[in-house]
Amino acid sequence: MVVGKLIATIALNLICLAAYSARPVDKNATKETKALYRNMLSLASKGFMFGHQDATLYGIGWKYDANRSDCKSVCGDYPAVYGWELGDIELGTKDISLDSIHFDKIREHIIAAYSRGGVNTISWHCNNPVDGKSSWSREPMGAVGSLLPNGANHEKFKLWLDRVADFLQSLRGSRGEAVPIIFRAWHEHSGTWFWWGSTQCTPDQYKELYRFTVSYLRDNKHVHNVLWGYSPDVVDSKEGYFERFPGYEWVDVMAADLYHRKESREEYVAKVHRQLDYFVMDARRHSKIIAISEMGSGALPDAQWWTKVMLPALTKHPVSYGMVWRNAYNLENHLFCPYPGQRSADDFKIFTADKRIFTENKLPKMYR
Catalytic positions are 188, 294
Indicate the residue among 77 and 99 with the shorter CB distance to ligand BMA. Answer: 99
* Smallest separation, CB 247 to ligand BMA (Å): 27
Per-residue burial over 253-264, b = 16 or more CB atoms within 10 Å of its CB, e = otherwise: bbbbbbbbeeee
Indicate the residue among 68 and 125 with the shorter CB distance to ligand BMA. Answer: 125
* Smallest separation, CB 217 to ligand BMA (Å): 20
Separation CA 85–CA 67 (nearest Å): 19
Indicate the residue among 88 and 347 with the shorter CB distance to ligand BMA. Answer: 88
99 scored as a contact of ligand BMA (CB under 6 A): yes
Q: Is 292 exposed, middle or buried (0-12, 13-18, 19+ CB in 10 A)?
A: buried
Indicate the residue among 44 and 300 with the shorter CB distance to ligand BMA. Answer: 300
Indicate the residue among 106 and 357 with the shorter CB distance to ligand BMA. Answer: 106
Pairing of strands 357-358, 62-63: unpaired
- Nearest-5° Cα angle at 213, 156 to 30: 125
* Smallest separation, CB 53 to ligand BMA (Å): 7
* Smallest separation, CB 301 to ligand BMA (Å): 18
Separation CA 36–CA 167 (nearest Å): 20
208 scored as a contact of ligand BMA (CB under 6 A): no
How many CA atoms, within 13 angstroms, populate the side-chain half-sphere of residue 37?
A: 29
Which residues inside 117-136 make contact with ligand BMA, applying CB under 6 A?
A: 125
Residue from 60, 96, 98, 148 touching ligand BMA (CB under 6 A): that is 98
Closest to 325 in 3D by CA, of 266, 261, 281: 261
Residue from 26, 77, 85, 188 touching ligand BMA (CB under 6 A): that is 85
Indicate the residue among 41 and 122 with the shorter CB distance to ligand BMA. Answer: 122
Q: Name the maximum alpha-carbon separation found in the chain.
A: 65
SS3 333: coil
91 scored as a contact of ligand BMA (CB under 6 A): no
Per-residue burial over 3-29, b = 16 or more CB atoms within 10 Å of its CB, e = otherwise: eeeeeeeeeeeebeebbeebebbbeeb
* Smallest separation, CB 237 to ligand BMA (Å): 25
Which residues inside 315-334 make contact with ligand BMA, applying CB under 6 A?
A: 326, 334
* Smallest separation, CB 294 to ligand BMA (Å): 8
Cβ atoms within 10 Å, residue 208: 18
Q: Cβ-closest residue to ligand BMA?
A: 85
224 scored as a contact of ligand BMA (CB under 6 A): no
How many CA atoms, within 13 angstroms, populate the side-chain half-sphere of residue 209?
A: 28
Q: Contact residues for ligand BMA (CB under 6 A)?
A: 85, 87, 98-99, 125, 326, 334
